[in-house]
Amino acid sequence: GARLGLWHHPLQRVVKDFNPGLRSSRLLGPTALEELPELHEMLLEVQGMWAALRAEFLAVRRHSKSRYVQIQLCLPSGTRCWEPWPPRWREGSWGHYYVAPTSPMDDWGEWYWDGEESKCNWAAYPQCCDLLMRLRKRGLEVTQVAVTEVQAPRTLIPAHRSQQWRLRLVCPLVVPRNSTSILRFPGFGDKVFKAGECWWFDESYEHELLYTGLSFRSALFIDVKHPGRDGRSPIGNWAASWWNYSEPMPITAKLWGSLAAMPSYVPKRRKWTLLGTTHCWLQELTPQQCCVAHPPSTCWDGEQRTFSSCCGTLPRHGAEIKRCAAAKAAQPLFRCERNEYIPSSLESDFAAKAEELTSNRTAMCARLNHDVRSSWLRQIRGCEGFSTQVFSTLCRQGQAPQLIEPLAGLLRDPRTICEGRGYAHFADWLLFAGSAPLSNVGRRIFFDVGGS
């Protein structure tokens, strides 16, 4: 269906007016906000007014001046229904309370606020309109503002996406207890709505929303034009690689307009996409061809693409990793006073906040940040001394302590989610135990470490 042009690939972004130099990501975390400080300031200001904005909304929610428009309605409540355009299954009902502009369409059939003070809904949302005017005066191009509300018992807003320049600040105002409201990015991850916790995401990445609860859920959203359109210098490697997500399907004039208007930014289909911040697999070669046995010379250029930067070590037939020195898990200078397991600081953090740190990619990778991942791998290679900040300790009375990799992240290579899926099968993050504790008696137990 995608090849025939019936719909886009789930990871494809809208290519109309696409600018490959505009850095972005599905969820904009702390590093992104360092590069885009206007968004950070805006988030703090809106979040600081959260209680006032929530009270203002609830005061007018059932009043006609709230400008509520129902966008989706499936009857009976909570059932599925089919809409011919865009062709999607959907469930439940939802709508917008329009703030700026005050109606869903202007004379040109577009929902777009040009910053005119009179086009903001001052009658219902004076504090919000005052905030928006202040943001516009600072140069932030606020283009759409509304409160979106989804209804109980279950609502699904199907997958959709918008133009590349649209960034959205979401501030949940009402999230009922024991409800679940999740924004899902296919092939990437989820973001859970929590009352009072504001966050940014990029509307141009395909996303869908699923809500289940006993009452309505309401969230303020403010759309702005991407500040990075000014061509500022990049900071960090937080941005997703645009060529992973803009692969075109066969294009027809009806769907895409003239090909002459599209520059040759969009590359052809590739078997493998970028792994993390490396530049691998750009020659239609695969990890199987480049990382195993005898790779062809075309895999590597010795600069941006090297074996160590792209492959790590595969568990079978992989090349030996380069070490600075022997890294021994046993600590012979010490003796354990009792049988115990001592989790590292990293493992303790994940144990204390398991759900919070593993259900959200941004939160997990903030704790499992680049410095932590680098130290983890360098210590195994003998390039740094072992640290109990990263590695946990297994003790048997009278024996030398044994260090072991921590139970952190998703119990996989720490780079797997934070740098790219291709690391899922590498082995260079594992610390192999020393032989000292082995004896001639005992049991060997084989188990599937992938089992929860």
Q: What are phi and psi of 273, to 5 degrees?
A: -100, -175
- Kindly give, in sequence order, each residue whose CB lies less than 8 Å from that of residue 65, ignoring residues fewer than 6 positions away: 121, 123, 124
Is the N-terminal amide bond of 267 cis, ω within 30° of 0? no
pLDDT of residue 212: 94
> Both tokens of residue 219?
């969230």
Task: Please give the residue that has the higher pLDDT: either 145 or 282.
Answer: 145
Residue with tokens 């805006």: 42
Give me the DSSP letters along 231-286. -PPP-SS-SPPGGGS-PPPPP-HHHH--GGGS-TTSPPP-SS---TTS--STTS--
Structure tokens at 336: 């354990």
Which of the four pLDDT bands, split at 50, 70 and 90, describes residue 285? low
Stretch (H or E) spanning 134: helix 126-137
Q: How many CB atoms lie within 10 A of CB 160?
A: 12
Token pair for residue 328?
Answer: 């021994």
- Rounded CA-CA distance 358/362 in Å is 9
pLDDT for the residue 451:
60
Average pLDDT of span 184-207: 90
The token pair at 155 is 């609502």
Strands annotated E in 276-386: 340-342
pTM, whole model, 2 decimals? Answer: 0.55
Beta-bridged to residue 191, according to DSSP, are 183
Which of the residue ranges 33-37, 353-357, 414-418 would you say has the lowest mean pLDDT?
Answer: 414-418
Sign of the torsion angle spanned by Cα atoms 161, 163, 169, 172 = negative
Determine the pLDDT at residue 441.
67
Q: Which two tokens stand for residue 420?
A: 């790219």
- The mean predicted confidence, pLDDT, of the chain is 80
Q: Does 244 score more than 80 pLDDT? A: no
For residue 303, the model assigns a pLDDT of 59
pLDDT cut 90: percent of the chain above it: 40
Find the range with the poorest average confidence among 71-75, 156-160, 254-258: 254-258
Check if the beta carbon of residue 46 is closer than 8 Å to that of residue 222. yes
At 302 the pLDDT is 59
Dig out the tokens for 275 from the structure: 């792994």
Q: Are strands 80-83 and 142-150 parallel, antiparallel or unpaired?
A: unpaired
Burial 117-154 (b: 16+ CB within 10 A, else e): eebbbbebbeebbebbeebbeeebbbbbbbbbbbbbeb
Instruction: Retrieve residue 72's tokens.
Output: 């989706």
403 close to 431: Cβ distance less than 8 angstroms: yes
426 and 397 in contact (C-beta within 8 Å)?
no
User: Among 173, 307, 148, 317, which residue's Cα sits nearest to residue 223?
Assistant: 148
Write down the pLDDT at residue 305. Answer: 60
Query: Rounded to an integer, what distance in angstroms lies between the CA atom of residue 308 and that of residue 322?
Result: 8
How far apart CA 275 and CA 209 sit, in angstroms, is 28
Name the least confident of 91-95, 275-279, 412-416, 441-445. 275-279
Return the beta strands (E) in 111-238 as ranges: 142-150, 154-160, 166-174, 180-185, 189-192, 199-202, 207-212, 217-225
- Average pLDDT over every residue of 207-224: 95
Tokens, residue 46: 């809106």
State the average pLDDT over residues 64-72.
92
- Tell me the average pLDDT across 237-263: 47
Q: Higher confidence at residue 40 or residue 332?
A: 40
CB 121, CB 129: distance < 8 Å: yes
pLDDT-derived band at 12 (thresholds 50, 70, 90) equals: low
Non-local (6+) Cβ contacts of 235 within 8 A are 31, 34, 35
CA distance 176 to 155: 14
